[in-house]
Structure 1
Amino acid sequence: MGGSGHAHDEHKHDVTSPRLVAKQTSNLGMDAFVTAIDDGHAPQDNEHEWNISGDEGAIDFEGDSHSTHVNLRGLERDSAQVTLAEATIQMPIMETMPLSVISPIAHAPLQVVQNSPDIFQPTLPNIGTLTTDCTNKKHKRSASMSSHDDSNQCPICLEPWSSSGSHRVVSIKCGHLFGQNCIEKWFAKGKKDKTAKCPECNLVGYQKDIRFIWTKNIVAVDTSELESVRQDLREEQSARREVEKEKAKLQLAFKMGESQMLKMEREIKNLRIMNSTLLLQIEAYRAKSGITTAKRYVFNNLVAISAELQAARVMSFNPHHEMLIVSNGHGLLKISLRELSSQEYATIHCKPIRDAQCCPDGSGLLLTTSFDRTLKLTSTVRSNSTVQCFNLENPGWSCCWNNDNPQYMFCGLANDTVLMFDIRQTKAPVTRLQDHDKTGGKPLHSLIYIPRSDKSNASGLLAANFDHVFLWESNSNGESFSSGLQGNAEKARCTVFDMQIPAATCYSVSHDPMTQQVLGSFRGTSFTKHVVSALNITDGLPTLHAMRIQSGTGGQKTLARTQIFSRREQAGTASHIKTYVCAGKEDCCSLVIWGPDGEMQELENRVEWPKESVIDVQRCIQSNGKDMIAGLTERHVRLYTYE
């Protein structure tokens, strides 16, 4: 292009016209960039800047060699664009022509491209298809607004609002924020067209709805996550209140049930006392009338212990809670004789249990020892937790309580040593008892504490290994080993009894506290013998005097246990005490009871039962006077009732 602004009518298109870059103007309330680009014939390094001015109806472009006037008529705005329906470009070198579209999008410059010597065709950069059709105005405006989600900018002019002045931040009744002069102009224009609506949500609004926002800075904070957390907290608090209510109800029900249980236990105790009284009265009446009935042990029940072979080994009876405790592998199985279906298992040791003894004071403590070289105290009443654990220098084979003072316990080891422990001291044993020259140094399979009584002055710790039966005596005052012999094994006297059977080894020893009689069981290659002896003091030394010997058929391979017990029986008007021996018969897998008068009863052994020999025997006297014999096999407990 050539020429100046005063010779518009005479000047024609000049191929040397430069590329003209327009400056920015905001007089129209929007950002406008206009660039004139030649058709490529002019040198690319020849660039000149245009000055832009104008008002709401026209834009003037003035350059070094050209001047252009753009007349804007029928200006229309919607949500996405401004359409110049009848805008014309007036230039001295070209005819009047329509201007298609000028976009209000920020930083989207209008390009006026020189396509021919006489005509300039204004176009838009590559920002998508734009149209003058007004049917999509709402959709385009919302898309434009959503692209400028800035809490510090007016969504109409996209300029930062202020806290004072004409462009201060205000709100309308729908809650959206704008610059004051922008929304007032918007409503003023809408009032003329009767379409005053919020630029954001299209809610109808009026000038009177404008409210000032008194703030220095507005930043929109996303609180949706916080509200969600608060809602979760409210729900959690509500659920917790419901749980607390349910807990209170359950606690109340538990206390009521516990009170009812205590009441029923008292009633059961009274009924048992009444039952015992009635039984005594019946026995007295029978004796007075000369009525005699022969009683014997009859089969009551068969309780399964485990499906594995050699699972059970020993058992103990707790008379205070009427509970039978059976070793089962590394743990114990508790069986209530009141309700045989009530059973509970607890793991105690990490190796098979070798012996178990219930505490005589009724506290529910159980003393166990195992091949894992530990001696443990376990609570069997309210829980199955281990109360104390004592480490042993050798595997434990047997254990027992001190009946005179249950705070002390004894444990027989595999090296023929007896250790005494104090429940109040867990570091080490308080007494060590050993005399290998007398006892032979073999494992102690039986250990029984004999308290001092009126029937016998002999008291102490009765022990047995495979070769000998011997007694560790307490001091002359009858006190426990803890006071007279603590830490000093030389003061303890060991007496070995001469009750060995030729060609036989001892495999079990038991004691009857009612008669102070001792049972020693011996096994040979093809026989078993059970020797009943009386424990006395002769010339100041404890002695065992053999009273009778009960012989069993066949040998005994397993290291089983036998038991001696006494029972007061009525014969006419007189009553006397009879002592019985109970032992397993391995060749026929049965249980045999021998009486003092040579009578023998072989307890029922049904054909359908597994062929398992009896390895332990316990006599169980319940609080109602019910007399039972429990025979333990590898996988079952046989229960017999005296009727």
Structure 2
Amino acid sequence: MNPWTADGEHRVSCIPCGHVYGRSCLEKWLAQCGKKSATCPQCGKMFRQKNIINLYAPEIVVPNNDLEKQVLSLRDKNEFLENQQQKLIEEIKEYKRQILHQQRLINESSSKRQKMAEQSSDGAMIAESLPLHRAHGGSSDLCKFVLQNEFVLDGARVMGIDASSQIIVASGRAPGVSAEHVLTKICMFSRQETKVRLPPNTKAVRDICITPGGLAIFASLGRKLSLLRSACNICSRLVLFRGSNWPQPRICWITEWHAFGL
């Protein structure tokens, strides 16, 4: 069956069953059957040559099931992509909100550190000017300090202060029969107190220092050096100074921390 035309011998025609063909194709079909009647190639209903009717409609549209399926499939894909786009837009908004929140925290932390540096600088200037002020007969009551927080620690021996994170690390003993040596970490913001267990066989802590990276390094009896990671409260042993003539506590106050990767 060839595509029909609008006019001529192969113009569009239909038979009683309603199916549409080109007229010359129907006539050839009748000739092949060798009879005056033949069956419809699609539905099998009988028709005769006199039953062939020419169609003079200005436009004829034939349903295309494959095209309809393709349109439905494209519609589903479009709906899926729209949902994905909306989901991605929401995720981007959430990421932007988190970035702004983190930036705000960073700015607040930088502002606090700047204020602390300014206060430290002002305190140093006052301390330097105090002897001169007294020498000229001035009053020694230049400034007043107000107690804001008070922390009570039993058996504390040495401590270190992380000014940037507002954390105090102090050494002492845990309550109980064993009375093992521990570190007490105190947050000056929330006043939360945390006990940190030391590596096995750690004796009394002699000195503590906070590195610029926020790590607490401490020296204990037995020429042992340990490191506390404040973020996870995990202590690890660094060096064993056996047979060394270097004074043990002195190692805690090394300023070139980059040499140790700290």
TM over 0.5: no
Using the size of structure 1 for normalisation, the TM-score is 0.22
The structure with more strand, counted as a fraction of residues: 1
Using the size of structure 2 for normalisation, the TM-score is 0.44
**Structure of larger gyration radius:** 1
